[in-house]
Structure 1
Amino acid sequence: MKKLIQFLTTSLLVVFSLTLLAGCGSQSTAPENKVIKVGVTAGPHAEIMDEVKKLAEKQGLKIEVVEFNDYIQPNVALNQGDIDLNSFQHEPYLKNIVKDRGFDIVSIGKGVIFPMGIYSKKVKDLNQVADGGTIAIPNDPTNGGRALLLLQQKGLLKLKEGAGLTASADDIAENPKHLNIKELDAAQIPRSLDDIDAAAINTNYALTAGLNPVKDSIALESGESPYANIIAARGQDKDNPAYLKLVEIYHSDQIKAFIQEHFKGSVIAGW
């Protein structure tokens, strides 16, 4: 009987030890086996993340780049857990969407700056826009406000004091040229250039439409813009080591060199 008890005790200890080891093994291998899904918009964000993916794979980090064609779905997908991170928006836009929709999404690292430009097929200089001319701007609050601030910076209009980064057409205090401000979906604005006098276009959509912000714009934001893009995660994942490793790779000298060489100054590293 004593030998039987010793045998059972020893067996239970062995089983317990194996279970513990198996548990430790699964915890150590899980990060390497996980594929990190990163949502981006088509164009520069996708191109940059593709380069990050190549570099990350050499360091054992697996990334799947998921492309979206608008500014809404990448945050919806992230909030729902369909993707793990996204890289397509600046912080003022994220703050606005979090406020409006209650998403638990936070920035975990800076990305690039896409200076907003104003483009035209009818004039070569912004001051040549005729009295009563039409200028298109994005219809979302932050990018629309960004466009209005650029128009104010260039002297075409003046906004009410304190209008801030989310200014709208209703915040225009002075409009000496009686400009018609037309609000359109940001992705659709490049297609409207034939029908209007000028348009404020986000650089990612400008590049996708074959427009070079440095060569083709008639006005361009400075590099001091507060609209640096970010890499975002759900609040519960803000300290995830694998996600922070991805940010570290994004901030590497290799990716910075790619941005400088590939985009020729139309996209600027924001870190």
Structure 2
Amino acid sequence: MEPFMVARRAFVALSLAALALAACGQKPAASSSASDTLTVAATAIPHAEVLEFIKPKLAAQGLKIEIKVFNDYVQPNTQVAEKRIDVSYFETLPYLETFNRDKGTHLVPIKGIHIEPMGLYSAKLKSVAEIPQGATVAIPNDASTEGRALLLLSRNGVITLKDPTNALSSLKDIVDNPKGLKFKELEGATLPRVLGQVDLAIINTNYALDAKLNPTKDALLIEDSKSPYVNYLVGRLDNKDDPRVQKLAAALTTPEVRAFMQQKYEGAVVPAF
């Protein structure tokens, strides 16, 4: 074989070996980057605020969290189910169960973090005693949150439900409506914006806080601290035991987070741990 051909083959072999080594050297970096970052879907208040509070502590432990803020309750779960986001932190167990049933997903609760007592608000009335005949009440239109709103009215004697323990009660389950209330079913995020256009509105605390309402002062009725509607960190079957997810769950349930919630939200957000 001519010296030129030998040299050329040696050069090609060395080049391929270098490329292989480079490729091998690149893989651990990509894997390391992915394993050190966790994406979390959340609504702005209080969920994203709580996550921002623990973000530096997690970073010191070697875990970076990337917070994706949403203003609705559908896209966070959709993107977690599609594996575009790792976990979500915004929802109650009844909502999660309804979402899984309706969307055919298999998301799982990982850890209960806090309760946001739902409240009844009005820009026109100062008390429940002032509710006039035929008053218009705006309520959330998703099944689990609508049921929760109706239970709040039922437990306070405003209406009577067929089964006062059914978390998925709907308007058709009202058996007594002495005030002749007229209900408007609207998307939860819009309820603070229509408060001036209706007599009453039952609003999720995260949306109430975002609209600068103070649940413990402004609500005519509010759930007590025994509310079963705990907000969960939620993931998938394939990542619920991921060490990064478990590290996040542990960070969300520390005494420091408890103190942060109690001080910042003054009863509008109640630790569930």
TM-score range, shorter-chain basis? 0.7 to 0.9
2:100 to 98, 101, 108: 98
Pair 1:191-2:193 in alignment? yes
In the alignment, the residues of structure 1 paired with residue 168 and residue 266 of structure 2 have an alpha-carbon distance, to the nearest angstrom, of: 29
| Uncovered stretches (5+) of structure 2, i.e. residues with no partner | 1-20
Question: Residue 196 of structure 1 aligns to which amino acid in structure 2?
Answer: V
2:247 maps to a residue whose letter is: K
Pair 1:223 & 2:225 matched: yes
Once the two structures are superposed, what CA deviation does each residue of 1:220-256 show, in whole Å capped at 9, x if it has no partner? 0011111000000111111111101110011111111
Question: Is the CA contact 1:32–1:61 (under 8 Å) kept in the aligned structure 2?
Answer: no
| Structure 2 Cα separation of the partners of residues 196 and 152 of structure 1 | 20
- Residue-pair matches, total: 249
Contact 1:86 1:231 in 2 (8 A): yes
Post-superposition CA distance 1:157-205 (Å, at most 9, x none): 0011377101111111110111001111100001111111111000000
Contact 1:42-1:67 within 8 A present in 2 as well = yes
Q: Which amino acid aligns with 1:156?
A: V
Tell me how far apart the structure 2 counterparts of residues 88 and 187 of structure 1 sit (CA, whole Å).
Answer: 13
Letter in 2 for 1:264: E
Deviations 1:249-269 (A, max 9, x none): 111111111111111111001
Distance in 2 (CA, whole Å) between partners of 1:192 and 1:242 is 40
2:36 touches 2:62 (CA, 8 Å); kept in 1?
no
For residues 262 and 204 of structure 2, what CA distance do their matches in structure 1 show? 18
Taking the aligned partners of 1:237 and 1:147, their CA distance within structure 2 comes to 32
Any conservation in 2 of the 1:31–1:242 contact (CA below 8 Å)?
no
Equivalent residue, structure 1, for 2:158 = 156
Whether the 8 Å CA contact 2:125–2:199 is kept in 1: the answer is yes
CA–CA separation in structure 2 for the residues paired with 1:210 and 1:123 = 18
Give the whole-Å Cα distance in 1 for the aligned partners of 2:165 and 2:238.
33
Does the aligned pair in 1 maintain the 2:155–2:164 contact within 8 Å? no
AA aligned to 2:45 is G
One-letter amino acid of the counterpart of residue 96, structure 1: T
Could you tell me how far apart the structure 1 residues matched to 2:52 and 2:241 are?
A: 23
Report the equivalent of 2:111: 109
Counterpart Cα distance in 1 of 2:82 and 2:179:
45
Match of 2:87 among 85, 88, 91: 85
SS of residue in 2 equivalent to 1:63: strand
Equivalent pairs: percent with the same residue?
41
Task: Quote the RMSD (CA, aligned, Å).
Answer: 1.9
Gaps of 5+ in 1: 1-18
* Cα deviation digits, residues 121-165 of structure 1 (max 9, x gap): 111111211011011110000110000000001111001137710
Segments of 4+ moved more than 6 angstroms: none
Match of residue 7 from structure 2: none
The CA distance in 2 between the partners of 1:223 and 1:160, in whole Å, is 24
Provide the residue aligned with 2:264 in structure 1.
262
Provide TM-score, normalisation by structure 1. Answer: 0.88
- SS of the aligned residue for 2:197 comes to coil
Structure 1 counterpart of 2:43? 41
User: For the Cα contact (< 8 Å) 1:133–1:179, is it kept in 2?
Assistant: yes
